[in-house]
């Protein structure tokens, strides 16, 4: 992934800043305050960002200010590139969290009460209450919250200030709720799917049940459940797990974003600029698609230009999976404004071509540049639902595992660009697989990070991708006309990746059963299910290695 990098050069008006950021305004504003310059003297440019996932919302600012200071003092261009090792050691990570709960349940696993406390490690200084802000609506996932007593605590520790990372707050909150359901299932000896269904909130019940029923059929769950059970009985050193997770994810706000659409009278070509940042999630492609649809012109006549703080000032950060929807809304509004201006001209012509229409409009002094603006109070809080089934096979002796199959079923509404959305789903899920299986942080007692490079901090690779991966989008789902019926896509799938940890836990529980440990005995695992941890958690008896 592209690291934190900034290039600054002097200009006649002040500074020109090229920064890999998710938030141009923050870079402009912080340089302005640090160097005591007016904001109109600082032009921040960002075209495309090579991956970000939250770190480039705010953590790019320090390098940008340092580079700007050099330029201000020396009047020479400056480039600062922070190495991966520097980033890993100096900058905080996803918010670590810990949950402590006491619950009472009925004989069928229905929660009667929960005293539920979640602690988030903010680092050495409080710098944004991420789980408090984002996760407070997600702590119960899709389950009945009326019997939950929920409290959230910030904790100060001796590590770097932790920060926003894909699915901040929601990944942790959803995972904790799902782990709670798993705990009930194991300790009560109940079917985990039935436990989840029994505890669903009435508000989400019909949608979740429909999707669960669909994925049970699509994935051939009942037959595969029997196969996995039979496999675990017949094999001592290989074990399989087959587990399901539920998801309810709700966006929280809108964004201030400016969209400008310009039509050139010579050939009718269209240029779009906007305040969003395309970091691989495909907002530029969706902007082109929406404009082509609204204006009824070919896609190859439209291009998206790079962004800067002159053409798109005062814009919100591109984050929270909602920038796609806001850009769609903004482009739609800009296109509709243009169509309204062109309507009187078109009515006077006889079936004109696009170029003929634009030429006539220009000759009649029609302004061919329009704007669309979205606001923070324009949210589209449509619930996103998801159900994922994962099957793994574990080597009990080594702790290595294979992700045999994943069936991921998500409600994305009416997708504007299905291929892009499938890529977002797959990428988010694999990022979550890394979080739950291999990305382990190791610190010294004084807070120094030891796993600071890819040599010792392991991310998912090609062979970690599910061998059989099936992504389904819910049919006949629609949100709002303003966003063409679409829903948020980028972050919800990472919240479902916890299902891989559940499948591994089932395989480990089957191995422990062969060592005489009942499956109703819950075992605690606080970190990722690494190869080492899988081997140790299996609790193999030394006597089992002896020949008889």
CATH fold label, 257-374: Aldehyde Oxidoreductase; domain 4 (3.30.365)
Identical fold, 5-82 and 97-251+381-543: yes
Length of the chain: 548
Domains of the chain, by residue range, sit at 5-82, 97-251+381-543, 257-374
Please tell me the predicted confidence (pLDDT) of residue 428.
Answer: 96
Residue 499 scores a pLDDT above 90: yes
5-82: in CATH 3.20.20.70: no
Token couple for 135:
């996760």
Provide the pLDDT for residue 128.
Answer: 58
* Burial environment of residue 48 by CB neighbours within 10 A (0 to 12, 13 to 18, 19 or more): middle
Provide the pLDDT for residue 271: 98
Per-residue confidence band for 18, with pLDDT thresholds at 50, 70 and 90 = very high
Q: What pLDDT sits at residue 133?
A: 64
Q: 87 with 53: CB under 8 angstroms?
A: no
pLDDT tens digit sequence for 213-234: 999 999 999 999 999 999 999 9
* 248 closest CA partner among 148, 161, 170, 336: 170
| Tens digit of each residue's pLDDT (9 = 90 or more) over 154-209 | 888 888 888 888 888 899 999 999 999 999 999 999 999 999 999 999 999 999 99
What integer pLDDT is reported at residue 548 of this predicted model?
67
CB-side neighbour CA atoms (13 Å) of 284: 16
Looking at residue 169, its pLDDT comes to 87
Percentage of the chain exceeding pLDDT 70 = 98
pLDDT for the residue 161: 84
* Segment 532-542, tens digit of pLDDT: 999 999 999 88
Least confident stretch, 191-195, 378-382, 522-526: 378-382
**Dist. CA 252–CA 159, nearest whole Å:** 29
Average pLDDT score over residue span 82-90: 89
pLDDT for residue 127: 63
What's the chain's average pLDDT? Answer: 94
pLDDT at 244: 98
pLDDT confidence of residue 447: 79
- pLDDT (average), residues 400-406: 98
pLDDT at 130: 61
pLDDT of res. 241? 98
Of the listed ranges 39-48, 114-123, 191-200, 397-406, the least confidently predicted one is 114-123
Residue position matching structure tokens 């159900």: 387
CATH code at 97-251+381-543: 3.30.365.10
What tens digit of pLDDT does each residue of 260-317 get?
999 999 999 999 999 999 998 999 999 999 999 999 999 999 999 999 999 999 999 9
pLDDT at 422 over 90: yes
Question: What is the per-residue pLDDT for 316?
Answer: 94
Q: Output the pLDDT for position 163.
A: 85
The dihedral formed by the CA atoms of 356, 360, 365 and 368, expressed in degrees to the nearest 10: -20
Q: Is pLDDT of 129 > 60?
A: no
Distance (Å, rounded) from C-alpha 312 to C-alpha 330?
12
Contact (Cβ atoms closer than 8 angstroms) between residue 238 and residue 359: no
Give the ranges where 21-169 is alpha helix by DSSP (H).
Answer: 24-35, 55-58, 61-74, 84-90, 130-134
pLDDT at 219: 98
């Amino acid at each position: 992934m592209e690291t934190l990098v900034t290039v600054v050069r002097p200009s006649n008006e002040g500074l020109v800043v090229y920064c890999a950021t998710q938030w141009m305004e923050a870079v402009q504003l912080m340089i302005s305050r640090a160097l005591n310059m007016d904001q109109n003297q600082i032009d921040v440019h960002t075209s495309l960002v090579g991956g970000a996932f939250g770190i480039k919302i705010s953590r790019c600012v320090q390098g940008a200010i340092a580079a700007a200071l050099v330029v201000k003092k020396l009047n020479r261009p400056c480039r600062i590139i922070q190495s991966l090792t520097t980033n890993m050691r100096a900058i905080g990570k996803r918010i670590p969290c810990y949950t402590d709960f006491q619950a009472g349940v009925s004989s069928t696993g229905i929660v009667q009460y929960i005293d539920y406390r979640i602690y988030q490690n903010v680092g050495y200084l409080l710098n944004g209450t991420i789980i408090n802000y984002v996760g407070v609506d997600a702590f119960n996932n899709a389950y009945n919250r009326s019997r939950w007593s929920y409290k959230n605590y910030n904790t100060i520790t001796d590590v770097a200030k932790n920060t926003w990372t894909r699915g901040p707050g929601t990944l942790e909150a959803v995972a904790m709720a799902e782990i709670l359901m798993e705990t009930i299932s194991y300790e009560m000896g109940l079917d985990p799917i039935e436990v989840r269904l029994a505890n669903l909130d009435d508000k989400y019940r019909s949608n979740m049940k429909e999707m669960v029923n669909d994925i049970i059929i699509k994935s051939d769950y009942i037959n595969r459940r029997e196969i996995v059970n039979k496999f675990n009985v017949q094999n001592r050193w290989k074990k399989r797990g087959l587990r399901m997770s539920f998801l309810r994810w709700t966006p929280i706000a809108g964004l201030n974003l400016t969209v400008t659409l310009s039509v050139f009278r010579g050939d009718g070509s269209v240029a779009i600029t906007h305040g969003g940042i395309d970091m691989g999630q495909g907002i530029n492609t969706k902007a082109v698609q929406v404009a082509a649809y609204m204006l009824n012109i070919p896609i190859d006549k439209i291009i998206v230009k790079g962004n800067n703080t002159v053409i798109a000032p005062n814009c919100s950060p591109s984050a929270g999976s909602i920038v796609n929807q806001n850009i769609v809304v903004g482009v739609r509004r800009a296109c509709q404004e243009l169509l309204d201006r062109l309507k009187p001209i078109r009515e006077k012509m006889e079936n004109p071509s696009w170029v003929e229409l634009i030429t006539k409009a220009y000759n009649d002094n029609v302004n061919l540049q329009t704007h669309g603006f979205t606001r923070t109070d324009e949210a589209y809080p449509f619930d996103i639902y998801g159900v994922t089934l994962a099957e793994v096979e574990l080597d009990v002796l080594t702790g290595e595992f294979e992700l045999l199959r994943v069936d991921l079923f998500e409600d994305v509404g009416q997708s504007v660009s299905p291929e892009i959305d499938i890529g977002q789903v797959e990428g988010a899920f694999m990022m979550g697989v890394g979080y739950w299986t291999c990305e382990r942080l190791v610190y010294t007692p004084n807070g120094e990070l030891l796993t600071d490079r890819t040599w010792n901090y392991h991310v998912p690779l090609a062979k970690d991708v599910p061998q059989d991966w099936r992504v389904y989008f819910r049919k006949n789902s629609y949100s709002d006309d303003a966003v063409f019926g679409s829903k948020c896509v980028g972050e919800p799938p990472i919240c479902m990746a916890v299902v891989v940890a559940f499948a591994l836990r089932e395989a480990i529980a089957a191995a422990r059963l062969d060592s005489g440990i009942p499956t109703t005995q819950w075992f605690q695992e606080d970190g990722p299910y690494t190869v080492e941890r899988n081997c140790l958690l299996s609790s193999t008896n030394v006597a089992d290695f002896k020949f008889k």
